[in-house]
Amino acid sequence: MSVIWHDIECGAYGADVELWRSLAREHGGPVLDVGSGTGRIALDLARRGHRVIALDRDAELISELSARAQGLPVETVVADAREFELASRFGLIIVPMQTIQLLGGASGRKRFLERARAHLAHGGRLAIAISEQLELYEVDPDSPAPLPDIRELDGVLYSSQPTAVREDPPGFVLDRRRETVDAEGRRTVERDVIRIGALTTAELEREAAEIGLDRTGRIEIPATADHVGSTVVMFDA
């Protein structure tokens, strides 16, 4: 089930795609995609001829990515972003969609940054997407709710409805209601909660500098109607 929900909730996002394409063209491969999920970015880059290593700790997502990557220059790795050890060194390491804010705060980020620095090739680039501030809301029964993400697959209707983004120091909580209805009308409802750590570009740049990464710039990705905006912060070893 994690594949279906991941595709529904993350697969349609495309505001950042051209940035990752541009960075891959500039820095070459291999590219390490951290938090790759089912391959939203990894497969896109591989279709453009880049060799990609896709890393995610969810084995089900990685298995699906591997199946979708048949014939493409993609390798898959099941590993925690804070603990991986790979033989390759990378011209580009990318961390899309606020993955860095899911690593358990400053200690988790430090462990990841150390791993990333150790895996950068000479002249390589590390690019990390973060969101400094999320738009807080709580679904009000008397007000219009955000539209759900919906998909039908094999006769089952899947619906993921955002219900709240609220502060939960030291970060935020994203609440969703996941609902399925099968061909016989049987309905299931479950709650999904994601905790997103608070992080500013200045904090990330300071943490990266402490382990020897040099700041090389920031690029803004504007918000869309359905997704929060982000800043991609870039570093060289």
Q: List the domain boundaries for the chain.
A: 2-132+199-236, 137-196
Fold held by 2-132+199-236:
Rossmann fold (3.40.50)
DSSP state of 148: P
Alpha helices (runs of H) in the chain, residue ranges in sequence order: 2-10, 17-27, 42-47, 59-68, 105-119, 201-210
Task: Count Cβ atoms below 10 Å from residue 26 Cβ, excluding itself.
Answer: 10
The answer to whether 80 touches 57, Cβ cutoff 8 Å, is yes
Amino acid at 198: A
pLDDT in tens, 23-77: 999 998 899 999 999 999 999 999 999 999 999 999 999 999 999 999 999 999 9
Residue 144 has pLDDT above 70, yes or no: no
> What are the structure tokens assigned to 148, written together?
């759900």
Binned at pLDDT 50, 70 and 90, residue 135 comes out as confident
Torsional sign, CA 14, 114, 92, 219? positive
For 154-209, the pLDDT digits (tens) are 999 999 999 999 998 889 999 999 999 999 999 999 999 999 999 999 999 999 99
The dihedrals phi and psi of 103, each to the nearest 5 degrees, come to: -100, 15
User: Is residue 138 pLDDT above 90, yes or no?
Assistant: no
Q: Confidence class of residue 141 from pLDDT cuts 50, 70 and 90?
A: low
- Determine if residue 123 is left, alpha or beta; phi over 0 gives left, psi from -120 to 50 gives alpha, anything else beta: left
* CA pair distance 128, 28, nearest whole angstrom: 17
**Residue 152 above 70 pLDDT?**
yes
Q: What's the fold here for domain 137-196?
A: N-terminal domain of TfIIb (2.20.25)
According to the model, what pLDDT value does residue 142 have? 61
Share of the chain above pLDDT 70, in %: 98
The reported pLDDT for the residue numbered 237 is 86
Q: What is the mean pLDDT of residues 139-156?
A: 81
Count, residues in the chain? 237
> Would strands 74-78 and 52-56 be described as parallel, antiparallel, or unpaired?
parallel
What confidence category does residue 119 fall into, taking pLDDT thresholds of 50, 70 and 90? Answer: very high
